[in-house]
């Protein structure tokens, strides 16, 4: 009951922030003042559609290597798509944990792998959005601290895994942990960097989808500014636990664009168009959810 109330409050907060965003951007007064060409929308949809493919590829790698569970790309796409659909209705990215219930006899291992996957996403969002801080922080000492912090969070999982392998007994509750490490087989740091590299493409393709709409509409905005701005909004959407980051992503990116001195009205319209384009992924995720429900009889 308490969880339902918390979810309702977070959803209400998100809707309130989204309405505030619409009022702040003045888009309700002016309406849509820009028109996108067919090619711009097509490229944006194309890059947006690549995002679930990257997630499916990463899950296939993790399943095949870590869980010693041989699955095809199609099955991986269905499982990640279904969990993405569930995550729409849950705070942050908690919906991804729904994959834990797919394999009844491997739930402990699956839980650890999904948590690791979420950590990779979190690291990538911090790294890709760090440009927002670098843009506004002028003191070199703080920049050095930030870079050190970014390196630190990226290497935490393999270093921690190595330490735990030395400390923890190879039995009982920790048996699943050891099975995962045995499944990896190769150098932990190299494997982790490989997963981080794959995860980076999620944020990069999202920015490419946005860039397809902005490059001709906001002059001199730059890909680096866009990379930081979009991913910073995604990061805040996750850590505030608002479902789908609604309102939080829009307001945070709007504020950054205003601080950079660019046209906030045009940016507001682009953000709304991106929300609509993302419906393509949501529809695909819904179809995956229906297939998974039938296949696993959940």
CA 32 – CA 166 distance, rounded (Å):
60
Q: What is the pLDDT of residue 103?
A: 62
Q: Of 176-180, 189-193, 290-294, which range is least confident?
A: 176-180
DSSP letter, residue 89: T
Q: What is the pLDDT of residues 81-137, one digit of tens each?
A: 888 888 877 776 777 777 777 666 566 667 777 878 888 888 888 878 776 666 655
pLDDT, one tens digit per residue, over 10-30 is: 778 777 877 777 777 777 666
Tens digit of each residue's pLDDT (9 = 90 or more) over 139-162: 455 555 556 566 666 666 666 665
Looking at residue 170, the DSSP 8-state letter turns out to be S
- Asked whether the beta carbons of 268 and 214 are under 8 A apart, the reply is no
HSE (CB half, 13 Å, CA atoms) of 258?
12
User: Where along the chain do its domains lie?
Assistant: 2-28+39-296
* 3-class DSSP string for 239-281: HCCCHHHCCHHHHHHHHHHHHHCCCHHHHHHHHHHHHHHCHHH
């Amino acid at each position: 009951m308490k969880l339902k109330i918390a979810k309702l409050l977070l959803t209400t907060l998100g809707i309130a922030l989204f309405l505030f965003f619409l009022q702040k951007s003045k888009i309700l007064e002016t309406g849509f003042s820009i028109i996108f060409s067919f090619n711009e929308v097509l490229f944006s949809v194309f890059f947006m559609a690549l995002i679930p493919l990257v997630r499916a590829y990463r899950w296939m790698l993790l399943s095949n290597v870590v869980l010693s569970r041989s699955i095809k790309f199609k099955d991986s796409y269905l499982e990640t798509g279904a969990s993405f659909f569930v995550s729409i209705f849950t705070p942050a990215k908690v919906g991804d944990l729904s994959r834990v219930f797919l394999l009844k006899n491997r739930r402990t291992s699956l839980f650890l792998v999904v948590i690791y996957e979420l950590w990779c996403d979190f690291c990538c969002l911090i790294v890709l959005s760090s440009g927002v801080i670098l843009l506004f922080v002028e003191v070199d000492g703080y920049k050095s601290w930030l870079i050190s912090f970014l390196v630190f969070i990226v290497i935490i999982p393999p270093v921690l895994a190595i330490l735990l392998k030395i400390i923890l007994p190879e039995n009982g509750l920790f048996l699943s942990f050891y099975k995962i490490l045995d499944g990896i087989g190769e150098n932990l740091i190299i494997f982790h960097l490989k997963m981080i590299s794959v995860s980076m493409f999620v944020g990069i393709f999202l920015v490419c989808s946005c860039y397809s709409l902005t490059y001709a509409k906001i002059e001199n905005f730059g890909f680096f500014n866009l990379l930081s701005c979009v991913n910073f909004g995604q990061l805040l959407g996750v850590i505030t636990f608002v479902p789908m980051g609604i309102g939080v992503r829009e307001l945070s990116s709007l504020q950054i664009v205003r601080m950079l001195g660019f046209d906030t009205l045009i940016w507001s319209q682009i953000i709304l168009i991106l929300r609509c384009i993302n419906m393509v992924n949501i529809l695909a995720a819904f179809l995956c959810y229906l297939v998974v429900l039938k296949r696993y009889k959940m």
